[in-house]
Amino acid sequence: MACAEEDRCSYEVCKETRDWLCARTALRPRTAIICGSGLGGLADALENKTVFEYEDIPHFPHSTVAGHRGRLVFGELRGHACVCMQGRFHGYEGHSASTVTFPIRVFFLLGVEILIVTNAAGGLNPHFQVGDVMFIRDHISLFGLAGLNPLRGPNDERFGARFPCMSDAYDQELLGLAQESAQELGFQSFTRQGVYCLLPGPCYETVAECQLLQALGADAVGMSTVPEVMVARHCGLRVLGLSLITNKVVLSYSSQEKANHEEVLHTSQLRAEGLQKLLTHLLGKLGEGTACP
């Protein structure tokens, strides 16, 4: 039940997908979590799960990247109603911006209020180490600066205003709760704050590009997240972003290091348990979700 790329962001198409999901699960999630590369294990920790394969959901795109399982999982963590994406969509897969961000509008129509985005990223900040978790304080969208914005085109006021503000893209209260959770769990040694930069991929960055991004003030670089955050804020969702630093970018032409996806997945698996504990602890602070009859 696929739809044309240009129609995917329409209110009517998103509502069809929402209605299909609502007919098959009684859970009404307050929080949506997008699991980045190798981080889909968080969804396995949900209780009272209902699982949908992307290919079975009307109008839902398919994920083609290793480490992204392609499932939408409804369930509860610490009594908090959640929906988790085990696998996201990227522009480098050939998807349009409306396809990449389609699930966010569906979540909005489901009644989601909070979006938690996770990703695997390369560390630009020289003080960051592989395995660190960076709470995203802000982002740089080189896509957006070039005019490739997921909100480009006709605006539907049922989703949000024509000119959404992005100076508060990442919710300060959620960021504070995440830092508080890290402190209570004793995770301060590997949690950081910083600015995430989006590049289109699928190529990893050149040395010159990494030096440019450092000069721009970026602390980590990746190939996702920002379009989803833009659409989430357009819809009025509160956003928390976390980047797992899976590799340090190459900044010297004499370096023998080479970024690769296998390293990304390996580091994700090593830190996945800690990240799962962090988000579970955080969700416990957000209170209980709701289920409808």
Q: Is residue 20 part of a domain?
A: yes
Mean of pLDDT values over 38-62? 88
- Please tell me whether the overall predicted TM-score, pTM, comes out greater than 0.85 for this model: yes
- According to DSSP, residue 7 is labeled G
pLDDT of residue 201: 84
Question: Is 118 a member of any domain?
Answer: yes
Please indicate, yes or no, if residue 217 is contained in any of the structural domains: yes
Q: Tens digits of per-residue pLDDT, 164-193?
A: 999 999 999 999 999 999 999 999 999 999
pLDDT at 86 over 80: yes
Query: In this structure, what CATH number is given to the domain that contains residue 278?
Result: 3.40.50.1580
Domain-located, residue 156: no
Q: What pLDDT, on a 0 to 100 scale, did the predictor assign at position 143?
A: 78
Kindly tell me the number of DSSP H helices and DSSP E strands found in the chain.
Answer: 9, 11
Domain that holds residue 30: 13-148+167-291
Overall number of domains in the chain = 1
Asked if the structure places residue 280 within a domain, the reply is yes
C-alpha distance from residue 238 to each of 25, 170, 174, 189, 225 (Å) = 24, 7, 8, 27, 14
**Does residue 153 form part of some domain?**
no
**1 is a domain residue:** no
Tens-digit pLDDT profile for residues 241-291 = 999 998 889 888 887 777 666 766 666 677 778 888 899 899 988 864 444
Which residues, other chains included, contact 114 with Cβ-Cβ below 8 Å and sequence gap of 6+? 30, 31, 32, 171, 174, 237, 238, 239, 240, 286
State the average pLDDT over residues 121-148.
Answer: 91
Show which residues are catalytic.
37, 68, 90, 92-93, 120, 223-224, 247, 261
- Examine residue 3 and state whether it is found in any structural domain, yes or no: no
